[in-house]
């Protein structure tokens, strides 16, 4: 038992927290994009019912999953990882801002999330998105620190 616990601690130490963040975002965005594209018609219809996006539902229904996939791809390629983290930050902040906006200004609340994300209530969603926005900031900070260290070594 103690041995097992020690092994987990050792693994945690070895595990780079930045890698965990990058992996989480890649997973989140690919999952979110795929679940939107699989039921594209439904996703588009849901955007069409959002008072904020109704006029641009056609554009946004492609742009949102497209950008999610591009950001996930950038996170995968080391050279573009920082840009990918910034992309994640912008996306998460955008989603968070959008939800906050809808909850405050819209006379009714439409839903447009796919998969298990659609099962969340709006307030839960706001908390979830807020947490991921923070995670993106943490990712950028960690990346910058590691990058600085590498530069010193080189």
Contact set with other proteins (CB under 8 A): 39, 41-42, 44-46, 48-49, 51-57, 86, 89-90, 93-94, 97-98, 101, 105-106, 137, 140-141, 144, 148
> CB 4 → other proteins: shortest distance, Å?
39
150 phi, psi to nearest 5 deg: -60, -40
> CB 129 → other proteins: shortest distance, Å?
12
84 phi, psi to nearest 5 deg: -60, -40
Please say which residue, 2 or 104, places its beta carbon nearer to other proteins: 104
Q: How far is CA 12 from CA 3, 25, 46, 71, 121, in A?
A: 14, 19, 41, 26, 32
CB 88 within 8 A of CB 139: yes
For 47, the 3-state DSSP assignment is helix
Which one, of 149, 148, 154, 139, lies nearest residue 16 by Cα? 139
Please say which residue, 24 or 90, places its beta carbon nearer to other proteins: 90
Please say which residue, 23 or 101, places its beta carbon nearer to other proteins: 101
Task: Classify residue 92 as exposed, middle or buried by CB count within 10 Å of its CB (0-12, 13-18, 19+).
Answer: buried
Please say which residue, 7 or 87, places its beta carbon nearer to other proteins: 87
Please say which residue, 7 or 149, places its beta carbon nearer to other proteins: 149
> CB 42 → other proteins: shortest distance, Å?
5
> CB 56 → other proteins: shortest distance, Å?
8
> CB 11 → other proteins: shortest distance, Å?
30
């Amino acid at each position: 038992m103690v041995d097992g616990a020690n092994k987990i601690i050792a693994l945690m130490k070895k595990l780079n927290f930045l890698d965990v963040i990058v992996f989480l975002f890649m997973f989140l965005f690919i999952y979110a994009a795929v679940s939107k594209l699989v039921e594209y018609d439904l996703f588009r219809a849901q955007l069409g019912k959002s008072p904020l996006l109704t006029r641009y539902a056609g554009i946004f229904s492609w742009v949102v999953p497209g950008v999610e996939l591009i950001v996930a791809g950038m996170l995968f390629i080391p050279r573009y990882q920082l840009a990918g983290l910034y992309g994640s930050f912008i996306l998460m902040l955008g989603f968070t801002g959008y939800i906050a906006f809808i909850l405050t200004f819209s006379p009714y609340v439409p839903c447009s999330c796919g998969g298990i994300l659609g099962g969340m209530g709006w307030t839960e969603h706001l908390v979830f998105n807020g947490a991921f926005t923070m995670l993106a900031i943490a990712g950028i900070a960690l990346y910058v620190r590691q990058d600085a260290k590498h530069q010193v070594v080189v």
